[in-house]
Structure 1
Amino acid sequence: MKEHTLEECVRQTLERYFKDLEGETTSGVWEMVLSAVERPMLEVVLGRAQGNQSRAAEILGINRNTLRKKLDHYQIKA
């Protein structure tokens, strides 16, 4: 079984998204993709850190205050 990188999965999903549009115009792809990736990433990492925001921020490589803002933005309970 071939392993897929996250990058390959994102690329394939975007290609399929644009194909499914069948020529229709779209906008806001940047925000759509960031939201679609950022929310589950935060949820999974926070789970891995057993709800410890300091540890989750460390895993993500971001400041704890930045993590808190993102959790608030997505209404994710720590």
Structure 2
Amino acid sequence: MKKCIQKELKKYFNNFDEKGIEPNNVHNLLHQELDKIMIKYILKKTCNNQSKTAKILGISRNTLKTKLNKI
């Protein structure tokens, strides 16, 4: 997983380098995208069982619901 993330970050930053643009808010952006991907994937694996998904993620069901509303 680490190598995959590093590869994608490199591509992301290379795009900015080519355009001469300074990226900002990368941590927040990455965190939001990872949340979406993880939640959707785990929901699919648990047949949309929010309780199981929350347990796998190590968060409360209410926190999961809040995150789902943002997706």
For Structure 1 versus Structure 2, the TM-score category normalised by the shorter chain is 0.7 to 0.9
Which residue number corresponds to residue 28 of structure 2? Answer: 31
Aligned-residue sequence identity (percent) comes to 32
| Aligned residue pairs, count | 69
Counterpart of 2:31, as a letter, is L
Give the 4+ runs in structure 1 shifted more than 3 A: none
3-state SS, counterpart of residue 51 of structure 1 = coil
| Structure 1: gaps (5+ residues) | 1-5
Q: Which one has a larger percent helix, Structure 1 or Structure 2?
A: 2
Q: CA RMSD in A?
A: 1.1
Output the TM-score relative to the length of structure 1: 0.79
Q: TM-score, normalised by structure 2?
A: 0.86
Unaligned runs of 5+ in 2: none
Q: Could you tell me which residue of structure 2 aligns to residue 20 of structure 1?
A: 15
Distance of 1:30 and 1:53 partners within structure 2: 26
